[in-house]
A and B are shown apart, each in its own frame.
Chain A
Amino acid sequence: MRTTCFALIASIALAACNDSTGTTTGAATRVLVLNTFGQTGVTRLSVDALAATHIDFGSSFDGATFTVLNDSVLSASSSFSGDQLYIASLGASTVTRYQLPAGSNPAGVAFVPTGIGGAANGRYIAALRNTGSLAQVKVQSGAATIVTTIDHAGTCPTDVAFYNGSAWVSDANQRCSSDFAVQGPGRIIRVSLADATRDTVVLGAAAIAPQRIIMIDQFAYVFSSGDFFSVPASVTKVNVSTKQTLSIVSMPAGVYGVTMTKGEDGRLYLSVAPNPAPGGVYSPRVYVIEPSTMTTVPPYFGSERFRPLTKQDGTLARCSAATADAAGKIFCVENGLTTSTLLLFTAAGTLITSAASGTIASDVTLR
Chain B
Amino acid sequence: MTSIVAVVALAVLQHAPVHGVVRDAATGAPVAWSEIWTRGASTRSDDDGRFAIEVARGDSIHARRVGYRATVTLVTADSVTLLLEPSAAPLREIVSDGAVAASTMSAMRRVASLRESGATTLADALTRLPFVSSRSSRGGVALSMRGSRPEQVLVLLDGVPLNDPATGSADISDIPLAALASVAALPGASGARWGSGASGGVLALSTADASSATLIAGSYGRVSASVAGRATLGSARVHGGAEWGTASNEFPFVNSVASPSVSETRVGADEHHLALFGGMSAPSLGATLLVTRNERGLVGPMNVRIYDGARGRADRALARVTGERATWTASAALRVLDVRYDNPGVASSRTTSSSVDADLARDAARITWRAGGGVDWVHGSALISMQRPRVFASAERGWEHGAWLVSLAARADAVRDASAALSPSLTIERRDAVTLFVRAAQAFRAPTFYDLYFASPQFVNGARTLRPERVQFDGELGARTVAHAVTASASLFARRTRDAIVWFPGTFSWSPNNVGRETVLGGEGRAMLSLPFGSLEAWGGARTTRLFVDGLDAPTPYVPWLDGGALATVRRGPLAVVATLIALGPRPVVTVPHPTSAVELPAVAVVDLAATIASPINRVAATLAVHDVANTRWQSIARYPMPGRTLSASLTFTP
Asked if A236 is at the interface of the complex by the 8 Å CB criterion, the answer is no
Q: Which residue of A lies closest to B594 (CB)?
A: A39
Nearest CB in chain A to that of B307: its residue: A80
Which residue of chain A has its CB nearest to the CB of B465? Answer: A279
Task: Tell me the dominant secondary structure on chain B's binding face.
Answer: loop
Chain A positions 74-127 with a Cβ under 8 Å from a chain B Cβ:
79-84, 96-99, 102-103, 105
The verdict on B259 contacting chain A, using a C-beta distance below 8 Å, is: yes
A39 x B596 contact (CB < 8 A): yes
Chain B contacts for A339, CB-based, 8 A? 550, 552, 592-593
Partner of A37, one of B259, B305, B590, B639: B590
A177 with B463: in contact, given A60-B639, A338-B549, A339-B550 (CB under 8 Å)?
no
Which residues of the other chain, B, contact A31 by a CB distance below 8 angstroms?
A: none
Measured between beta carbons, the chain A residues less than 8 angstroms from B236 are none
Q: Which residues of A contact B459 (CB under 8 A)?
A: 277-278
Contact B552 A59 (CB under 8 A): no
Question: With A80-B306, A338-B554 given, is the CB distance from A279 to B456 under 8 Å?
Answer: yes
Interface residues of B in 288-344 (CB under 8 A from A): 300-301, 303-306, 308
Whole-angstrom CA separation of A278 from B465 in the bound complex: 7
* Docked pose: A66 CA to B306 CA in angstroms: 23
A282 within 8 A of B: yes
Cα separation A177 to B550 with both chains bound (whole Å): 34
Q: Which residues of chain B have C-beta atoms less than 8 A from A80's C-beta?
A: 300, 304, 306
Query: Is A336 part of the binding interface, using a Cβ–Cβ cutoff of 8 Å?
Result: yes
Given contacts A79-B305, A99-B259, A279-B463, contact A178 B347 (CB under 8 A): yes
A357 → chain B closest CB, angstroms: 12
Q: Assess whether B505 is in contact with A58, with CB atoms less than 8 Å apart.
A: no
- B516-553 residues at the A interface, CB under 8 angstroms: 549-552
From B258, B346, B462, B638, contact of A59 by CB (8 A): B638
Interface size, A (range) = 35 or more
The answer, yes or no, to whether A217 is at the interface (CB within 8 Å) is no
Contacts of B305 in A (CB 8 A): 79, 83, 102-103
Q: In the complex, which residue of chain A has the Cβ closest to the Cβ of B589? A: A59
Across-interface contacts of B258 in A (CB, < 8 A): 82, 99
Shortest B340–chain A CB gap in Å is 17
B300 — which chain A residues lie within 8 A by C-beta? 80
Q: Mark B498-509, 1 if CB is under 8 A from A, else 0.
A: 000010111100
With contacts A38-B591, A278-B465 taken as known, whether A178 is within 8 angstroms of B346 at the C-beta atoms is yes
**Total interface residues on B, using CB and 8 Å?**
43
Q: Is the CB of B505 within 8 A of A39?
A: no
- A contact face: mostly helix, strand, loop, or mixed: loop
Kindly state the separation between the CA atoms of A123 and B131 in the bound complex, as whole angstroms: 53
Q: Are A282 and B506 within 8 A (Cβ)?
A: yes
Contact of A359 among B259, B462, B592 (CB under 8 A): B592
Q: How far is the CA of A130 from the CA of B203 in the complex (A)?
A: 43
Which residues on the B side are within 8 Å of A258 (C-beta)?
507
Q: Of A81, A178, A284, A338, which contacts B591 at CB under 8 A?
A: A338
Q: Given that A38-B591, A39-B592, A338-B549 are known contacts, is A59 also in contact with B345, CB under 8 Å in the complex?
A: no
Give every chain A residue within 8 A of B551 (Cβ-Cβ).
Answer: 336
B598 interface hit (Cβ, 8 Å): yes
Task: Please provide the chain B residues from 211 to 251 with a CB less than 8 Å away from any CB of chain A in the complex.
Answer: none
Smallest CB gap from B304: residue in A: A82
Contacts of A79 in B (CB 8 A): 304-306
For residue A205, CB closer than 8 A to chain B, the reply is: no
B558 to chain A minimum Cβ distance, whole angstroms, is 12
Tell me whether B12 is interfacial, beta carbon within 8 Å.
no
Inter-chain contacts of B465 with A (CB < 8 A): 278-279
Taking CB atoms, residues of chain B closer than 8 Å to A277 are: 459
* Chain B residues within 8 Å of A83, by CB: 303-305
The reply on B604 being an interface residue by CB < 8 A is no
Q: How far is the CA of A74 from the CA of B638 in the complex (A)?
A: 24
Residue of A nearest to B300 (CB): A80
The 0/1 profile, CB within 8 Å of B marked 1, for residues 332-367 of chain A is: 000011110000000000000000000110000000
A84 touches B259 (CB 8 A): yes
Check: A240 CB closer than 8 A to any chain B CB.
no
Alpha-carbon distance between A258 and B507 when the two chains are bound, in angstroms: 8
Interface residue A179 (Cβ < 8 Å from any Cβ of B): yes
A97 / chain B contacts, CB cutoff of 8 Å: 259
Q: Which residue of A lies closest to B260 (CB)?
A: A99
Contacts of A56 in B (CB 8 A): 596, 598
Q: Is A320 an interface residue (CB 8 A)?
A: yes
User: Which has the most chain B C-beta neighbours within 10 Å: A37, A177, A179, A278?
Assistant: A278
Please, which residues of chain B bring their CB within 8 A of the CB of A278?
456, 458-459, 462-463, 465
Contact, CB under 8 Å: A59 / B590: yes
Bitwise, B576-620 to A at CB < 8 A (1) or not (0) is: 000000000000011111011011000000000000000000000
By a CB distance below 8 angstroms, the chain B residues around A96 are 259
Set A59, A60, A82, A338: member contacting B550, Cβ < 8 A: A338
A179: shortest Cβ distance to chain B, in Å? 7
The answer to whether A38 and B515 touch (CB under 8 A), given A60-B301, A278-B463, is: no
- In the bound complex, what is the Cα–Cα distance between A177 and B307 (angstroms)? 12
Q: A305 to nearest B CB, angstroms?
A: 21
A38: B residues at CB distance < 8 A: 590-592, 599
Q: A282-331: which residues lie under 8 A (CB-CB) from chain B?
A: 282, 284, 320
Min Cβ gap B17→A in Å is 63
Chain A nearest CB: distance from B481 CB in Å?
A: 43
- Say yes or no: is A273 at the interface (Cβ < 8 Å to chain B): yes
Task: Give the Cβ gap from B548 to chain A, nearest Cβ, in Å.
Answer: 11
Contacts of B345 in A (CB 8 A): 177-178
A39 and B257 contact, CB distance less than 8 A:
no
| The 3 residue pairs across chains A and B that have the minimum distance between CB atoms | A336-B550, A38-B592, A278-B459
Between-chain CB contacts (< 8 Å), 19 pairs: A39-B596, A59-B599, A79-B305, A79-B306, A80-B300, A82-B258, A83-B303, A83-B305, A97-B259, A99-B259, A179-B347, A258-B507, A278-B462, A284-B507, A336-B551, A337-B515, A338-B591, A338-B593, A360-B505
